[in-house]
A and B are shown apart, each in its own frame.
Chain A
């Protein structure tokens, strides 16, 4: 909780409130933005600076069993990328920054500190199985500064498939509500609906209408049922879906079919770059970015995050275990594959994207096409699917690629030219994102899509999560080292240096549900599982500081 102060004279980008580079003061009191503060309140001089709400990462992998398996897998990538323990003096007494290590999957304390160091103040772990919820919360508890939460994996879980297969669509809502509440999760995540379950059973499915479980359960039915449940429960964020056939040449058809399958229901299609491929006759990938983004442009009920590939080190970590297996077979790299009983799986493979590699360059180009051809920045969010497409530390560079077409052209000249030839970049896409649009795709847009009313904007009542940047012709440098970062009105970072340690809140939903589902779940687990429903339930005191987010419309 902060005292009152005035952030004075900055150029404010607050697109949610229609403020586009206006020079004005931002007033803070009690950890929130307020309309005004007394004349004598302390002043922080922001003249000449760019002021934005803190960044919101709608999709990253920062906590839970698969993330720590990824940490453990690559000691050599983190050995030399260290963060020391630091004691920070402060007016209210010293605070301590715990030490850690980095690489593509930083340890928890380092993760929070590095997000804050970029001016990001909220981030969501995108995929946790119910069995892993406890570990995800324990790791989020040790992730400082940012407000956070996670999405719960559903759509390959045996119980849900059984409900759908036996025609009990009505119980799906109760089940989804129960699982979200018990896990203290924020939203529903669907990965390769039905496909992970089929893969564990030895079958690779390729189409929306292939049966994946008894009773005619198909990916189409699963996606629709979960999208319905998310709407019926008025969840703040719609179904967050990773489509079938990730990475497969020709998968744009699957993506479009899935979008159409929703028939007007809301849906957020994640890391859509990996789902935007056409195919040559001999199954080499091509770009179908235009078809995908034009569909998104025309369908206001849909949103996406791009999942941009950035050259350099990455770690593939996904609940879509088949994808990781393919990467392992392609590269021979180390491979983790973990089947999670009754619900899911995960695969992890260390990776690297190279400019001269045809496929990697094509992926990079497709991501940029999606950004540059998007008409509504409110529904096309910046992401790299950290660490799958690249580290979140590459966000400033990605921003520069979007804002600076000269820089973009230079980078284009370095990548495999054959990959660019078939994309819209070859036609010289000249668009440059404005600072306002950047503020939308990194802050205002994701906050709105997540239903976070106090995030992503600087109007009265918002959390005082504020990033202040020194303008620079090199916008990568600008966004990589904020002048100030405030979290709940407290200065956390100043000129790239941490000033104070603080811990944010774990945001979760707790939708109401019929208690009858509990007994059914108990019977199911007794027959098929190794644990009781209680073992899948997180207590409030297991979360350092939780905040329940109400259903939409309340």
Chain B
């Protein structure tokens, strides 16, 4: 039995480990995980949205070691926004600008409070000296803005793109002939003109939209159309687009992947360097094609993001699952390493607007979701919390660190 030297942090990190259903030490679990993953021809590293930045860094290294595909779970919902960014860029702001500058808030098919309770009170409450503001809720089918908005508009679901594109043309000062517009119900040119005028008439407008929509509401063109509208209006005023994301650290995973590989998702290391394949190397594509023959799930929530077909395939794939006790683990799971839940892990997380935060200490009684400021959570916890554990890695990173060590050693022994 190979011995694995583990850091004390790693030894303490895992709340428990199972190999083929039987309790095991972390060292034995890391060994078994390495064996399983190294044997594979097409391993997949997946999840990461419920992992710390420290763990995400390790996960990218593991994918490189294995020559694996790696894809954050959040890319299923957020991928369209990432692709839109690469096509046209983005005109946006960090959340605090809303408090200080916004005189127009547009909620495009999203009520942020429904995703993050208390979001509007925290991030949209006008700061002293902020200008008076109006709020406009645009309800797109069943995707509705906040109930208390000053005004509401309705957009038919099947005409969302046309309305956005026509609005953009209107903002540019062009008219679209009704015959060409495929006129959306309730959206005659006069209304397009009015809304465009509202957008251009603000001094600092913010459009919130659902940047990680659930399956069933993932229009691949929506982020592009919204982004183009914001950019168009920004030639004459300031109109920012801010995507509301799910709780979790999907933003962290994409940022870590970007700085380490150059690409935010759907990366494959099979040739020894990062290749980008948004259509080919997403977890959904890899699983739906039945290609993966091993999986490492880290802070993953497959049921939330993957199609039933992809989940069905994933269930049969030999897998290593690193996550909380509640984390999904399919029948193919051979190695299971249990860590504290994401909300309890100290470590770095990225807020939905890209701001890197750190949760310090044996953390929070209060759950910390992306978008809820860490300061608030920690102030609540500080009253009874233990001294901050400076220097200790979060448990999920420590576990992956143990796996990295085993993989490096095995590959070195094999001359790779």
A-side residues, CB < 8 A to B, are 63, 65, 67-68, 71-75, 78-79, 82-85, 87, 94, 96, 98-101, 103, 106-109, 131-132, 134-135, 138-139, 142, 158, 200-202, 325, 328-329, 334-342, 348-349, 527-532, 534-535, 539-542
Contacts and interface: CB of A to CB of B under 8 A. Distances in A.
Contacts of A67: 259
A108 B60 CA distance: 13
B408 to A, nearest CB: 7
Contacts of B350: 135
Interface string B200-226: 000110000000000000000000000
7 contacts: A85-B273, A87-B416, A109-B260, A134-B356, A135-B354, A337-B89, A535-B374
B374 A101 contact: no
A539 B348 CA distance: 12
| Residue with the highest number of chain B CB atoms closer than 10 Å, among A338, A342, A539 | A338
Interface string B320-363: 00000000000000000000000000001010001111101000
A139 B257 CA distance: 11
Interface string B217-259: 0000000000000010011011010000000000000011011
B143 interface: no
Nearest to B357: A535
B123 interface: yes
B128 interface: yes
A532 B96 contact: no
B348 A134 contact: yes
Contacts of B273: 82-85, 99-101
B94 A340 contact: yes
Given A200-B238, A535-B374, A87 B412 contact: yes
Interface of B: 53, 57, 61, 64, 82, 85-97, 99-101, 122-123, 127-128, 203-204, 231, 234-235, 237-238, 240, 255-256, 258-264, 269, 271-276, 348, 350, 354-358, 360, 373-376, 378-379, 390-391, 408, 411-412, 416
Nearest to B378: A534
B358 A542 contact: yes
A332 to B, nearest CB: 10
A396 to B, nearest CB: 23
Nearest to A529: B96
Contacts of B269: 85, 99
B373 to A, nearest CB: 5
A68 B259 contact: yes
Given A138-B348, A338-B92, A341-B95, A202 B238 contact: yes
Contact of B100 (A75, A99, A100, A342): A342
Nearest to A86: B272
A102 to B, nearest CB: 8
Contacts of B255: 68, 135
B94 A341 contact: yes
Contacts of A72: 82, 85-86, 258, 262-264
Contacts of A325: 234
A101 B89 contact: no
Given A67-B259, A68-B255, A82-B273, 16 more contacts: A63-B259, A68-B259, A84-B273, A87-B416, A98-B61, A99-B269, A100-B262, A131-B94, A138-B348, A142-B57, A335-B88, A336-B90, A341-B94, A341-B100, A528-B96, A532-B379
B259 A108 contact: yes
A79 to B, nearest CB: 7
B80 to A, nearest CB: 15
A541 B274 contact: no
B259 to A, nearest CB: 5
Nearest to A74: B86
Contact of B274 (A82, A96, A340, A542): A82
Chain B interface SS verdict (over half): mixed
Contacts of A142: 57, 259-260
B416 A532 contact: no
Contacts of A71: 258-259, 262
B412 A94 contact: yes
A205 B203 CA distance: 17
Contacts of B53: 138
Contacts of B85: 72-73, 336
B412 A339 contact: no
B378 A530 contact: no
A160 B36 CA distance: 56
**Top 6 nearest A-B pairs by Cβ distance?**
A341-B96, A532-B375, A339-B93, A101-B262, A134-B356, A82-B273
Contacts of A138: 53, 256, 259, 348, 356
Nearest to A530: B96
Given A71-B258, A531-B374, A336 B89 contact: yes
A345 to B, nearest CB: 8
A456 to B, nearest CB: 28
Contact of A85 (B97, B272, B375): B272
Contacts of A329: 235
| Residue with the highest number of chain B CB atoms closer than 10 Å, among A200, A336, A531 | A531
B352 to A, nearest CB: 11
Contacts of B82: 72
Nearest to A202: B203
| Residue with the highest number of chain B CB atoms closer than 10 Å, among A72, A83, A134, A539 | A72
A351 B57 CA distance: 30
A106 to B, nearest CB: 8
Contacts of B357: 134, 531, 535
A131 B355 CA distance: 7
A530 B122 contact: yes
Given A101-B274, A334-B87, A335-B91, A108 B373 contact: no
Contacts of B411: 87
A139 B261 CA distance: 12
Given A96-B408, A336-B90, A530 B61 contact: no
B250 to A, nearest CB: 14
Contacts of A63: 259
A387 to B, nearest CB: 13
B97 to A, nearest CB: 5
| Residue with the highest number of chain B CB atoms closer than 10 Å, among A87, A134, A535 | A535
B389 to A, nearest CB: 10
A337 B234 contact: yes
B274 A99 contact: yes
Contact of A335 (B231, B354, B373, B378): B231
A79 B360 CA distance: 37
Contacts of A534: 360, 375, 378
A528 B99 contact: yes
A99 B89 contact: no
B93 to A, nearest CB: 4
B70 to A, nearest CB: 12
Contacts of A78: 262-263
B93 A341 contact: yes
A84 B391 contact: no
A85 B64 CA distance: 8
Contact of B128 (A68, A107, A109, A528): A528
Given A87-B412, A99-B274, A530-B95, A334 B260 contact: no
B262 A134 contact: no
B96 A100 contact: no
A527 B127 contact: yes
Nearest to A70: B258
A63 to B, nearest CB: 8
Contacts of B256: 138
Given A100-B261, A532-B373, A339 B92 contact: yes
Nearest to A526: B375
A94 B413 CA distance: 11
B413 to A, nearest CB: 11
Contact of A98 (B64, B238, B360): B64
